[in-house]
Amino acid sequence: MMHGREKSDSAIVAVKPTNKAVPTAAEPVGPRAGAKGNASGSIPGTAILVKRTTRRDRMRATLKRVKEELRRRMHEPIPEQGAWLKQVVRGFFAYHAVPTNGRALGAFYYHVTRIWLRTLRRRGQKDRFSWQRMHRLAADWLPQPRILHPYPDKRFAVMHPRWEPLREFRVHGFRRGAVSNDRPYRAST
């Protein structure tokens, strides 16, 4: 029963119980057992390293397109298939071969090899392709997964004279920045 401004009787108005089984995004999550470092990939006390990995949905989409195209090219000679796959894998590696992404590159190489093997096995009713033969084909035609891009500290380590903070850079008596505070010129507002 209701008495004045009090809450409703629990027997009359059903109250939805809270679900504590699923943590919300706002709740802090503890570290995984046995994990070294944190989510950014750095070990405490060292420099921060941002892990860069290939998104799974993009890799799956690329593998799906490779599978469809290999199915279409199923009866072409193996050298033509290998040359086409070499271009595809090299293009994927050219974009995704960044530091800390080696596992994704290896997974892509493995899955492309596996898809190619399944396509070659579908060419006839006699299954003549073993994994040993497939490994030789992949080694002959597909580039090995390796990191192609440098780490950002190596990539952006170029220092141009105009950006060195302690260097005096004068051209015909003109000095960079305002004379009063040695900062670059900014229009006053």
How far apart (Å, rounded) are the C-alpha atoms in residues 66 and 145? 17
Q: What is the pLDDT along the chain (189 residues), one digit of tens a residue?
A: 555 555 555 455 555 555 555 555 444 445 444 444 344 555 666 667 778 888 999 999 999 999 999 999 999 999 999 999 999 999 999 999 988 899 999 999 999 999 999 999 999 888 788 999 999 999 999 999 999 888 777 766 666 555 555 555 555 555 555 555 555 555 555
Domain residue ranges in the chain: 59-141
Place of tokens 């220092």: 159
Q: pTM for this one?
A: 0.59
pLDDT computed for residue 38 by the predictor: 42
Taking the CA atoms of residue 129, residue 135, residue 137 and residue 142 in that order, the dihedral angle to the nearest 10 degrees is 140
Crossing angle of helices 78-96/131-141, nearest 10°?
60
Residue-level pLDDT at 52: 83
Q: What confidence score (pLDDT) does residue 1 get?
A: 52
C-alpha span between 116 and 63 (Å, rounded)? 11
The answer to whether residues 127 and 121 touch, using CB atoms and an 8 Å cutoff, is yes
Q: What is the pLDDT of residue 33?
A: 47
Tally of residues, the chain:
189
Q: What is the pLDDT of residue 51?
A: 82
- Look at residue 155 in the predicted model and tell me its pLDDT: 67
